[in-house]
Amino acid sequence: MSEKTKHTQGFDTRAIHAGFLEDKSNALITPIYANSTFAYEGFESQGQYSYARFGNPTRTSFEKALASLENGSDAFAFSSGMAAISAVFNLLPQGSHIIISDDQYGGTYNLIENMLKVTSKHEVTYMDFSPIDKLFGKIKPNTKMIWVETPSNPLLKIANLREIAIAANDHNILCVADNTFASPYIQKPLDHGFDISLHSTTKYINGHSDIIGGAVVVNNNDLAEKIRQIQLNTGGVPSPFDVFLTHRGLKTLGIRMKKHSENAMKVAEFLHKHPKVEKVFYPGLKSHPQHQLAKEQMKEFGGMISILLKDDREVVKSFLEKLQLFELAVSLGGVESLIQHPATMTHKSIPLRKRNIMGITEGLIRLSIGIEDADDLIYDLKQALDK
């Protein structure tokens, strides 16, 4: 191979080539190293790998590629999104105060309320980050972490990453962004000053609804070493096969996110005009309260939409059961379009009173727009709404 010249590669090029590990076979794709253990090179030299919980070439290849796409120094793969989330919370000393989005994934809420408050004695303040000026009044002497989802799940709120990062850095507080809904193609929280960007790689990064996984990306050597030790000692690492599939999905992330976003924009515009839809939550619409901010910090507007129908379970049930192309299922980010009812599915662990305050009511429906033909998706939604 000829000598490589210096050149800054684009996102799609890095998605395909970053992290590649050459081996003696000259394989074009990093193989699945299905090893639990690796032979030492000698009595006093173990080589790069020794035991698969500590590291695996298949996993290393994926982690390097993801770090490149997030503009991070290091990435760490986990066995699930919740394992990645738990790893980040493990950075905190007991009795820490956490400020977190009031509108966030139900699994994160459940972990905080039913485990972290009990075992780690953490204090938690839930807030709406869209009016950023309220953040400063929430910070306490023991505030150790600010945690945001943007776009949030399921109301698609947009948080100002740069302003939150400035506030966090001024007070020596770790700031964490759950970047699952956007993916590194659409936004890079580390570029805005965040310490950590995390993902459920089950979703857009893998993109094919056939694995469970998570990842944490950082751009700081000390923080990377702490996450590495948590990954090593808690052992929530993915299998080589799952990492292989996730890395395969990562290679097409850019082209998939363009199609997800293009389809979602068309679907959102259709739903916005439909008389039976009371409200559409999509940052690409000018009616979204943070549309301008979304334009500034996101490359595309993503594939997630939420809508509000009449606040009546029978109306919602009838609509969902009449759909033919959209599948009723939890999760998101796959090539196929999914639809779900947050109040009874992803966010059912949140108490009813809090759900209602957050706006996660009976009439709220979340759509994950796939990469099918947009006209077919619109036809399916129209026939279900019209009936």
pLDDT digits (tens, 9 = 90+) for 210-221: 999 999 999 999
Q: Residue with structure tokens 């979340």? A: 366
pLDDT band at residue 4 under the 50/70/90 scheme? low
Helix (H) or strand (E) holding 76: strand 74-78
Cite the active site residues: 53, 105, 178, 203
pLDDT digits (tens, 9 = 90+) for 70-103: 999 999 999 999 999 999 999 999 999 999 999 8
Distance CA(38)–CA(46), nearest Å, equals: 8
Q: Classify residue 190 by its DSSP letter.
A: G
The pLDDT value recorded for residue 1 is 46
Q: Which residues contact 312 (CB under 8 A, 6 or more apart)?
A: 362, 363
Average pLDDT, the chain: 94
Count Cβ atoms below 10 Å from residue 242 Cβ, excluding itself: 24
What phi, psi does 215 have (nearest 5°)? Answer: -155, 150
User: What is the Cα Rg of the chain in Å?
Assistant: 21
pLDDT digits (tens, 9 = 90+) for 231-284: 999 999 999 999 999 999 999 999 999 999 999 999 999 999 999 999 999 999
The pLDDT value recorded for residue 44 is 80
Does pLDDT of 24 surpass 80?
A: no
Describe the crossing of helices 81-89 and 221-234 by its angle, rounded to 10 degrees. Answer: 120
| DSSP track, 271-301 | HHH-TT--EEE-TTSTTSTTHHHHHHH-SS-
Alpha helices in the chain (DSSP H): 11-17, 57-69, 81-89, 106-111, 117-119, 161-170, 183-186, 221-234, 240-250, 253-273, 291-297, 313-322, 352-358, 374-386
pLDDT digits (tens, 9 = 90+) for 294-350: 999 999 999 999 999 987 889 999 999 999 999 999 999 999 999 999 999 989 888
Rounded to 5, what percent of the chain is helix, strand, coil? 40, 15, 45
Describe the crossing of helices 374-386 and 253-273 by its angle, rounded to 10 degrees. Answer: 30
Locate 349 and state its tokens.
């662990």
Helix, coil or strand: residue 199: strand
Distance CA(227)–CA(251), nearest Å, equals: 25
Helix, coil or strand: residue 221: helix
pLDDT band at residue 148 under the 50/70/90 scheme? very high
